[in-house]
Amino acid sequence: MTAQSKWLRYFKLNFFNLGDEKDSEDRYRLLHRNMILFMILVTIVPLVLMALVNYHQYRTSLKAEIINPMRVLSSKTKHSFELFVEEKLSTVRFITSAYSIEELANKDKLNKIFRVLKKEFPGFVDLGLIDYKGIQVSYAGPYELLGKNYSDQSWYHEVIVRGVYISDVFMGYRKFPHIAIAVQLGNDVSGSCILRATIDTHQFDNLIAAMELDAESDAFLINDKGVFQTHSKFYGKVLDNCPFSPPLGNYGNYIAEEKDPNGREIISVYTHFDKMGYSLVLIKPKSVILKTWFTLKSEMFFIFIISTVLIILTIFKITSFLINKTRDADERRELAFRELEHSQKLSSIGRLAAGVAHEINNPLAIINEKAGLMKDLIELTSEFKNRDKFLGLTNSIQKSVERCKTITHRLLGFARRMEVQFEVLNVNDVVKEVLGFLEKEYVYRGIDIRLELDENLPQISSDLGQLQQVFLNILSNAIAAVADNGNVTIKTWDQDPETIGVSIKDNGTGMSEETIKHIFEPFFTTKKGYGTGLGLAITYGIIQKLGGKIKVESKLGEGSIFHVYLPKKAPLKSSE
């Protein structure tokens, strides 16, 4: 036996429990349950795994498809911010290159430059020149800042070191958000000068508005300390502390899934500016991002539930069908085994009957010959005074021998050695003739014999004597089974083009299922003390020999019904 066949045998015996079971119904019930579990296991589990994999992959793919546009939008907006600041920075640098320190130190000249600057490049608030001591020596703008000392400001020293400075958003004297851009000029006698311009950050809000976010999304600028550089729709105003912690040392886009102070699950995109200490933060609630996914998930869940229910219903239907087919096959196999066993028993008892009949027929023949000789001698002797008495005795011997011949003839018929004589006959006439044999008994007991004979029943080709024996055996059992004043119903009908049917029904004591299994076995009888157990066994053998079938239905306390099906035409080969 190969390893695979061993595994299959182990699987069947252990999982389906197909070993010997005393109670066949329990075995089928257990088989039915295990088949359902196994089929559910091999169908639902892959379906669930496939659903989970698709769930994860589609959710990841959908999230990527939604986050990528967020990343692109954030990068484009960041680029717009950098262009805006770079434009302002380039403008200030151009002024430092186009004009000398002396020209910029001239108040009138600076005011003229500022007016042109403000006209051509909107957003500039003021413009001032700071000398090497940190004193603002020239100023053009709406405020009184001339002579202000910036030498103690950190940004002043940063410009001295780096040459350029772009501030965070601050209020200052102006009480509205703006940024400062400072660029170092060429050296004078004692040191460097600085050209400083302030810019209105209203343009920042315009750039964020250009992102065209939905009502539940938000975008804002923060510096590297987490301070708002623009207003936020939900989380604070300019110069408030941002509730989110930006990633440190990050350049490029950073995606984070987190919860905001309102408890909403959000996805945040942090985009760090390359030349400024700013980060653009774009926030979208997951409910908005995954709205399509949630809708699809509901539909997928609904489809999954419907599919699962349909699969389970189909499994139950198919399993029930298979179990019923298996049960029918087992029953047919068991019936075939019983018929084979019954045939073997009939064959054995037939051989025994043939042997007994043969052994009895020989001495019976001798007895008959001797009795005949005695009768001839007595008839030739007219002077024998007891002539009449002895003739009566010899006649009695010959009749007894004839009776024994009839019995042995039947035994030979049971042994299938008696030749079948086929003739055309009407089964209704056979039934009526057999009832005539039993008339005295059923009339004496008050039994009601009901005839439901088909008047148009076609004639068949069969053996009259053996059919008489069949109906006599069945009717005798039916009459014996019913109580006095009971009833027996005999019915005939045209079953199909090849067969006619005869049923004999009684309302007697009935039989148990166990009894029904053995009633056609030789020597099996329920008539304890006087039954031989050969009547139905012989009946079964005769019907098989004639090419017919016999079936029985019975319930304890309700009665029995025997169905006999006979062919309309004689078999091509008759069994002997």
pLDDT tens-digit series, residues 326-367: 888 887 887 777 666 666 666 666 667 667 777 787 788 888
Are 47 and 308 in contact by the 8 Å Cβ rule? The answer is yes
Tell me the one-letter amino acid at 163.
G
pLDDT of residue 21: 42
Q: What are the structural domains of the chain?
A: 23-289 (3.30.450.20), 419-576 (3.30.565.10)
Tell me the one-letter amino acid at 558.
E
C-alpha distances in Å from residue 214, one per residue of 69, 211, 282, 291, 402: 14, 9, 12, 13, 117
pLDDT tens-digit series, residues 459-497: 999 888 788 888 888 888 888 888 888 899 999 999 888
> Tokens for 158?
């940063």
Q: Name, in order, each residue with C-beta under 8 angstroms of 86's C-beta and a sequence gap of 6 or more.
A: 275
pLDDT tens-digit series, residues 504-536: 999 888 888 887 777 777 666 666 555 556 677
Least confident of 14-28, 75-89, 149-163, 306-320: 14-28
Q: Give the whole-angstrom CA distance, residue 541 versus residue 411.
A: 12
Are 54 and 307 in contact by the 8 Å Cβ rule? The answer is no
